[in-house]
Amino acid sequence: MIPLRRPPLQQTLAADLARRTDAIRAAGPSTAAGRAAWRTARQPKAQLRLMLRRMAPGLERCMYCGDNLGTDIDHFEPIARDPLRTFDWQNHLLACAHCNSNQKRDRFPCDPLTGDHLLVDPAREDPADHLVLYLESGAYDPLTAKGEATIDVFGLNARAELVRGRRMMFTVTKSLLAAWSAAGTAGRTAEQREYLAALRLLQHADVLRGVVALHRTPALADAVLGPDLAAVLPRLVAAEPGFG
């Protein structure tokens, strides 16, 4: 999971979503009213999906697991909890069918004392503040209660294919970094651009982010990547500041 930037809505779409929210409020906000309104909102859903696809990491990956294709508009706070957020743009994320329908569903854990939600919203906060990815194992560790709940709800460690996928992507990322560096040394700039494009589109974008973050701690970068690849990271961040 990586932080995401949410673009503003066009005025016409924002006004349409506000009208639909007002209709739910007028009907007496209920789960049934929210779900019925969402089910029939074909045009705004198409527009929202397009915006979410542009926000999504890699090749339109799920904003939670980072592995599968993002196919569903997920309501971060479920309609069952707050029907008035059915058409709230700040409440929409792109999820794969597995994360949306098998893992999260209507789960929305909250702190029993404060009532604050305990899921990481990657469009509002940096997931790295709540969970840490160990690149060599492919597993996450929680740093906070929110990180622990997020790992649990989305099965980030329990789904063996995700852990294996992150380990594999660590190997792929290292290979692409080495190839990018070698192409630069040889003056093959077009080839370098191809490797950068491949890095941008990788599944499990959290792996690339974890690798690049190592440039802030050179001793750790040497230990995890080896000195040759660790030396590549500052040059990569200089060439592509968005990675850093």
Whether the pLDDT of residue 244 is over 70: the answer is: no
In angstroms, the CA 176 to CA 185 distance is 14
pLDDT of residue 243: 74
Written as six digits, the tokens of 88 are 């709230």
In angstroms, the CA 23 to CA 5 distance is 29
Whether the pLDDT of residue 204 is over 90: the answer is: yes
Whether the pLDDT of residue 153 is over 90: the answer is: yes
> What percent of the chain has a predicted confidence (pLDDT) above 90?
96
Fill in the DSSP letter of residue 110: B
* 70 within 8 A of 11, measured Cβ to Cβ: no
Whether the pLDDT of residue 24 is over 70: the answer is: yes
Q: Give the predicted TM-score (pTM) of the model.
A: 0.92
